[in-house]
Amino acid sequence: MNDYIIVSDGTIDLDRKTVEKLGIRVIPMIYILNGTEHFFDPSAEDFDFSGFYEQVNAGVPVSTSQNPPRIFTDFFLELLKGYKKILYICFSSGLSGNYGSAYIAAEEVMQDNPGCEIKVINSLCASVGEGYLVRAVCEKRDEGASFEEITEYAEKIKRDVCHWFVVGNLEQLKRGGRINAVEAKLGSILNIHPILTTDSEGKLMVSEKVRGMKKAIHELVDKFLKYSDESIMHRVIVAHAGAPELAEQLISLLKETGRISEFLTEEIGPVIGAHTGAPMCAVVFTGTQEE
């Protein structure tokens, strides 16, 4: 049995069965729907994704809030009852202050509990990009890697995780402050959809703007072809927010590349979905990040 445990948070957007199979623990994350605060933990519930996005698209206000350090402190202390070491793969610091809160909590816990070790990894990823990294690290653990080895591995490969997504409802991006009102209005009128990713600092970045969702889905395939290694077969995660048909279209096009060894499909949870709205579609794989 390992003396360490791998931890992530409610932004990984992996389904409950996958989380259970990976044998990780998940720190719940906060979202606020119509004025009521909720904690989302994909390992603890079968979430009503359709119902959530119906409310969001109907204009029900939704937002997120940073976890206070105490949540991380209590979570770490509970885990240390059974493990000596904790590896926490955290939501990108470029998108949230949770990394800073978790780091402060880890330092305080280690100071008060000599002999324990907590590493907080800034994933530089969002959503299933973070989930993809967690899966890879868990596989390394299952190969017998030590705590030091998986920590080093996580830091090494996190920059190889490529995640691209397209958003169909610009209104939600505007509400979340990701784009301004003028961009949202013009984009809606002209049927323009941004292709987004995160940059080298883990901050949200608009790569380009594409006219029409059909073209945008093709652009996600082009990103895979451009940034993945054509000499190997790839595991790919396709995820969506309230858009199963778009996900199926994307999978069908990716299959035609002949470079996929495994497809995984996931739904985007409320913490990320609060900012993207629906429809939204994403592709994640390992490759070379855009310069």
- Tell me the residue range of the domain where 217 lies: 160-286
pLDDT of residue 208: 86
pLDDT digits (tens, 9 = 90+) for 143-166: 999 999 999 999 999 999 999 999
CATH number for the domain that contains residue 121: 3.40.50.10170
Q: How many domains does the chain have?
A: 2
Asked whether the bond before 270 is cis by omega within 30 degrees of 0, the reply is no
Q: How confident is the model at residue 179 (pLDDT cuts 50, 70, 90)?
A: low
Is 120 domain-assigned?
Answer: yes
Chain centroid, CA 285 distance in Å: 13
Residues 88, 285: Cα–Cα separation, whole Å:
21
Q: Are 117 and 259 members of one domain?
A: no
CATH number for the domain that contains residue 228: 3.30.1180.10
**Sheet bearing 29-33, strands edge to edge:** 36-40, 29-33, 62-65
Is 291 domain-assigned?
Answer: no
Q: Are 12 and 103 members of one domain?
A: yes
- Of all residues in the chain, the percent with pLDDT exceeding 70 is 91
Q: Which H helix or E strand runs over 162?
A: strand 161-167
**pTM here?**
0.93
Domain edge (last residue) among 107, 128, 158: 158
**Between 171 and 31, whose confidence is greater?**
31
pLDDT of residue 209: 87
280: left (phi over 0), alpha (psi -120 to 50) or beta: beta
Look at residue 210 and tell me whether its pLDDT is greater than 70. yes
Is 250 domain-assigned?
Answer: yes
Q: Are 170 and 260 members of one domain?
A: yes
Is 263 domain-assigned?
Answer: yes
pLDDT digits (tens, 9 = 90+) for 253-270: 999 999 999 999 999 999
Residues 219, 164: Cα–Cα separation, whole Å:
10
Domain edge (last residue) among 98, 123, 158: 158
Q: Are 104 and 32 members of one domain?
A: yes
Tokens of 34: 């119509």
Look at residue 52 and tell me whether its pLDDT is greater than 60. yes
pLDDT of residue 182: 47
pLDDT of residue 36: 97
Q: Are 8 and 73 members of one domain?
A: yes
Residues 219, 225: Cα–Cα separation, whole Å:
10
Is 96 domain-assigned?
Answer: yes
Look at residue 290 and tell me whether its pLDDT is greater than 70. no
Tokens of 89: 């793969």
Q: Are 153 and 256 members of one domain?
A: no
pLDDT of residue 193: 86
Look at residue 185 and tell me whether its pLDDT is greater than 60. no
Is 274 domain-assigned?
Answer: yes
Q: Are 131 and 10 members of one domain?
A: yes
Q: Are 151 and 207 members of one domain?
A: no
Q: Are 94 and 32 members of one domain?
A: yes
**Best-predicted range by mean pLDDT among 15-24, 36-45, 174-183?**
15-24
Q: Are 66 and 77 members of one domain?
A: yes
Q: How confident is the model at residue 172 (pLDDT cuts 50, 70, 90)?
A: low
Is 40 domain-assigned?
Answer: yes
pLDDT of residue 2: 79
Report yes or no: 209 and 252 within 8 Å, Cβ to Cβ: no
What is the average pLDDT across 35-61?
A: 91
Q: Are 250 and 181 members of one domain?
A: yes
Q: Are 89 and 29 members of one domain?
A: yes
11-25, 93-107, 197-211, 218-232, range with the lowest pLDDT: 197-211
Is 91 domain-assigned?
Answer: yes
**Between 58 and 185, whose confidence is greater?**
58
Domain edge (last residue) among 135, 158, 181: 158
